[in-house]
Amino acid sequence: MATGKDQLYADQITREMETSAKARGTGIAKRSPDYIRLKMLEGKAVIAVTKDGSWVGFCYIEAWDHERFVANSGLIVSPEFRGSGVASAIKAEIFALSRKKYPQAKIFGLTTGLAVMKINSSLGYKPVTYSELTTDEAFWKGCQSCVNFEVLKSKNRQNCLCTAMLYDPAAENAPVDSKQGGIAVSLGGKLFRRRKREFKGNFKLFERWMRFKKSVLLGAKKASDKTPVW
Ligand SMILES: CC(C)(COP(=O)(O)OP(=O)(O)OC[C@H]1O[C@@H](n2cnc3c(N)ncnc32)[C@H](O)[C@@H]1OP(=O)(O)O)[C@@H](O)C(=O)NCCC(=O)NCCS
């Protein structure tokens, strides 16, 4: 867990968040170094550093909807340390911290990144429709700085390019309903459920789904851009 002693890394972390978002061509909820410092002081962050004090990775917790929902946000790994399991370790740590601090909360995330989807999946998150997420305005405000915010707005916050994933502690011990299962995804207001194919581990299928979703959502946006507004 990060503590007040780690505040010296806050500037470097926010710089890397911005640089990485630009490189990926995505927008992000802007985080100031002060906000990162606050998370460290509150004990709501995980940081990885080397023995000689180089910063390696970071992630923090945010609570929404009177602590009924928790998001593990701002995951970032220093480029030179990527690809060796750092993000998986940090996410496992922040997940455990979230469960300890907010045992009743649903833990969720929105992402377009395959790495994060893989990690979330291994932690027990399931893909869900946006209707399963928090309705807390403060959370959704964070999407305003994303390049795809117009898509989210045009879909009345029911869908966008990000995949929503959620860990529900109540579902963890619930009996399995054999009729439900597979991937539940919403597109254009319709709910699709793929029963026969399992999501877990089937990331090729998932990548295909993401491409399809992109073409439908961005295609729909382009078409609506041409529609005259009266
Ligand atoms: C995404 C990021 C956090 C991954 O960090 P990392 O330490 O390299 O990730 P890990 O090594 O723990 O890899 C976790 C899994 O994702 C996979 N993975 C890692 N990078 C990937 C990539 N670019 N594309 C697809 N899969 C990837 C790994 O193979 C691994 O899968 P496995 O468990 O099946 O082997 C890092 O690249 C980063 O900081 N990127 C910029 C910021 C960002 O995108 N944050 C996420 C915002 S939602």
Span from the CA of 108 to the centroid of ligand 1 (angstroms):
17
| Minimum-distance ligand 1 atom for the alpha carbon of 113 | 48
Task: Name which residue sits closest to atom 23 of ligand 1, judged by CA.
Answer: 115
Average per-residue pLDDT for the chain: 84
Instruction: Please report, for the domain that includes residue 39, its CATH number.
Output: 3.40.630.30
143 in a domain, yes or no? yes
Q: What is the pLDDT of residue 205?
A: 75
Regions of the chain with pLDDT less than 50: 177-198, 226-230
Question: Would you say residue 189 lies in a domain?
Answer: yes
- Reported as a single tens digit per residue, the pLDDT across 132-184 is 999 999 999 988 888 889 999 999 999 999 999 999 999 876 655 444 444 44
Residue 170 domain-assigned (yes or no): yes
Q: Which of 19, 75, 120 to mutate to test the pocket of ligand 1 (most atoms within 8 A of CB)?
A: 75
- Whether 230 is in a domain gets the answer no
89 C-alpha to ligand 1 centroid (Å) = 11
Number of domains in the chain: 1
Residues in the ligand 1 pocket, defined by CB under 6 Å: 20, 75-77, 82-88, 111, 113-116, 118-119
Q: What is the pLDDT of residue 54?
A: 96
Residue nearest to atom 42 of ligand 1 (CA): 76
- In a domain, residue 167? The reply is yes
Which residues constitute the domain of residue 169? 4-225
142 within domain boundaries:
yes
Distance 55 CA to ligand 1 centre (A): 17
3-state secondary structure labels for all residues of the chain = CCCHHHHHHHHHHHHHHHHHHHHHCCCCCCCCHHHHHHHHHHCCEEEEECCCCCEEEEEEEEEECCCCEEEEEEEEECHHHCCCCHHHHHHHHHHHHHHHHCCCCEEEEEECCHHHHHHHHHHCCEEECHHHCCCCHHHHHHHHHCCCHHHHHHCCCCCCCCEEEEECHHHHCCCCCCCCCCEEEEECCEEEEECCCCCCCCHHHHHHHHHHHHHHHHHHHHHHHHCCCC
